[in-house]
A and B are shown apart, each in its own frame.
Chain A
């Protein structure tokens, strides 16, 4: 059974304020990394695992 789809309103990166929805749209439009969110995953680092998970799930290359 696959994991439930991450909800768009969930806050993904607590340091830059990136939400799951913003990441999903950026990936769909080939705009990731967003210019004003380029520190995502690099500050507290707590979201790195979830960020890589979501990038993979949204069809983008899982790297930061």
Chain B
């Protein structure tokens, strides 16, 4: 394989009952169909054990994550799914990433569209970006959505564990929590919606290196995802 290929390792979380599609490459020109050079999929449990490595066609535009996970015997209710891609830089002219669609089957909640987190790569040397992306933050809307909030975190390193600090802000108060993740492990960290009469206003995530991280909001009743978004880099 050519050493001129770019590399991108992204990850998302699949939860049982969700329709979940990943648009691997956003096609812009029917006459010039773009495809990845290769794509390796991994399905991981919370402890970081690889449950499966389903083979997929790297030329596929859309991957059905629900179908991929359904084929994994004994898959738990939530798994991390990794997308390890090699690509010709011409097909992602700027920041390479995948997009996704997510909806709990049968839920009245609207579907969610999001950019799949890039854990390794996504900032190729050629674009020269210098913003630090292992300190991230998310500002919540003032009007609550009557949800339960959390962070879903995944570690994409191969050998190094990571300790991360999660700080939730409520008015002038802060609640901090430390988590430690083994390589390829993942965890959901609940965030209290209120503290001492103040709504959850902001959350910060700090770690030695970039984690896969999503801000999550769940419907109070069914627990389906009604918010699934990336955090924002702290420094610009």
Which A residues are within 8 Å of any B CB, using their own CB?
Answer: 3, 6, 10-11, 14-17, 39, 41-50, 52-54
CB < 8 Å neighbour of B118 from A6, A44, A48: A44
Which B residues are within 8 Å of any A CB, using their own CB?
Answer: 3, 7-9, 118-125, 129-130, 132-134, 156-162, 208-210
List the A side residues contacting B159 at CB < 8 Å: 3, 6, 49-50, 53-54
Query: Cα distance A16–B127 when bound, in Å?
Result: 11
Chain B contact residues: over half helix, strand or loop, or mixed? loop
Are the C-beta atoms of A45 and B210 separated by less than 8 Å?
yes
Specify the chain B residue showing the minimal Cβ separation from A41. Answer: B209
Are the C-beta atoms of B133 and A49 separated by less than 8 Å?
no
Are the C-beta atoms of B125 and A14 separated by less than 8 Å?
no
List the A side residues contacting B157 at CB < 8 Å: 46-47, 49-50
Are the C-beta atoms of A14 and B120 separated by less than 8 Å?
yes
Query: Cα distance A3–B133 when bound, in Å?
Result: 29
Are the C-beta atoms of A45 and B121 separated by less than 8 Å?
no
Query: Cα distance A42–B209 when bound, in Å?
Result: 9
Are the C-beta atoms of B124 and A15 separated by less than 8 Å?
yes
Are the C-beta atoms of A50 and B158 separated by less than 8 Å?
yes
Are the C-beta atoms of B158 and A15 separated by less than 8 Å?
no
Can you give 30 A-B contacts (C-beta < 8 A)? A3-B159, A6-B158, A14-B8, A14-B9, A14-B120, A15-B121, A15-B122, A17-B3, A17-B125, A41-B209, A43-B124, A43-B125, A43-B130, A44-B133, A45-B209, A45-B210, A46-B118, A46-B119, A46-B120, A46-B121, A46-B209, A47-B157, A48-B134, A48-B209, A49-B159, A49-B162, A49-B208, A50-B158, A53-B159, A54-B159
